């Protein structure tokens, strides 16, 4: 369910509702908008929580969420999300252009590409340091050396880095270099990875998996959002025909 606070609700009233929701055994996710604050209360004790919270000071209304995804629902946050990373803005009619090679192969290749895509209007640089390949014999990426090359290209151009992370165990390493973590289509339903990426604090670009429904995509995003990360970019990768 969502708790809609009044436009003039004070920080103390908002904090009181958050603590009350938590005391009732629910998870509280505050979302601070430009006009009002909304608190998503996630858990099984909805009826008990609704009765206790509705009468709290500063609360305008308490509304149940009927969709299977909660945090990703427009019922929770009606304002359009805008993810901002340096010159990269995505959302609410902002056009973010992320460009670069499939894989990082050398410093010279990456720097030349970064300068070329920046001159062409790109606002972020992509490149794979860890590559998910169909064949185990194909090039798997330069790994941390590739991340270092990406960081050097960012230093030269100022373009934020978007790169893929393949495993939950690699999130901390990749997040230490990247500005945006990419979850590839093959990993859209790797739930442990989604949770770790969400907890990293870095914006996450989530690609739709092959043949995945929209509901499945939004439920995958829910894992990231439920980890406390509101900066999620949904990417329509395409389908196999």
CATH number (domain holding residue 49) = 3.30.70.1140
Do both 38 and 127 map to the same domain?
no
Flag whether 73 is in a domain.
no
Q: Is residue 151 part of a domain?
A: yes
Best CA proximity match to 98, nearest among 81, 120, 129, 130: 120
Residue 48 pLDDT more than 90?
no
Instruction: Name the pLDDT band for 146 (thresholds 50, 70, 90).
Output: very high
The enclosing domain of 155 has a CATH number of: 3.20.20.70
The upper half-sphere exposure of residue 135, i.e. CA atoms within 13 Å in the direction of its Cβ, equals 3
Asked whether residue 116 is domain-assigned, the answer is yes
Q: Distance (Å, rounded) from C-alpha 80 to C-alpha 104?
A: 33
Q: Is residue 45 part of a domain?
A: yes
Is residue 228 domain-shared with residue 124, that is, in the same domain? yes
Question: Which domain range does residue 197 map to?
Answer: 83-235
Predicted pLDDT of residue 69 = 86
| DSSP H or E segment with residue 194 | helix 191-199
pTM of structure: 0.84
The number of domains in the chain is: 2
Q: How far is CA 147 from CA 110, 175, 195, in A?
A: 11, 10, 22
- The token duo for 160 is 């934020």
pLDDT tens digits, 117-129: 999 999 999 999 9
**Are residue 54 and residue 94 in the same domain, yes or no?**
no
């Amino acid at each position: 369910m969502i708790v809609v606070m009044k436009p003039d609700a004070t920080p103390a009233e908002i904090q009181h509702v958050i603590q009350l929701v938590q005391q009732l055994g629910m998870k509280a996710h505050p979302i601070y908008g430009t006009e009002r604050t909304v608190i998503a209360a996630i858990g099984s004790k909805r009826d008990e929580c609704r009765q206790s919270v509705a009468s709290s000071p500063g609360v305008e209304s308490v509304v149940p969420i009927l969709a299977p995804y909660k945090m990703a629902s427009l019922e929770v946050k009606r304002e359009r999300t805008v993810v901002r990373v340096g010159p990269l803005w995505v959302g609410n009619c902002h056009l973010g252009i992320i460009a670069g090679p499939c894989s990082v192969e050398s410093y010279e290749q990456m720097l030349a590409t970064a300068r070329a895509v920046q001159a062409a209007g790109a606002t972020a640089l992509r490149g794979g340091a860890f590559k998910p390949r169909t064949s185990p014999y194909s090039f798997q990426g330069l790994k941390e050396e590739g991340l270092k090359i990406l960081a050097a290209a960012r230093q030269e151009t100022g373009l934020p880095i978007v790169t893929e992370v393949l495993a939950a165990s690699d999130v901390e390493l990749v997040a230490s270099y990247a500005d945006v973590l990419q979850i590839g289509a093959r990993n859209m339903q790797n739930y442990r990875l989604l949770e770790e990426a969400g907890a990293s604090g870095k914006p996450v670009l989530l690609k739709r998996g092959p043949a995945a429904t929209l509901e499945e995509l939004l439920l995958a995003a829910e894992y990231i959002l439920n980890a406390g990360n509101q900066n999620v970019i949904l990417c329509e990768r395409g389908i196999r025909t």
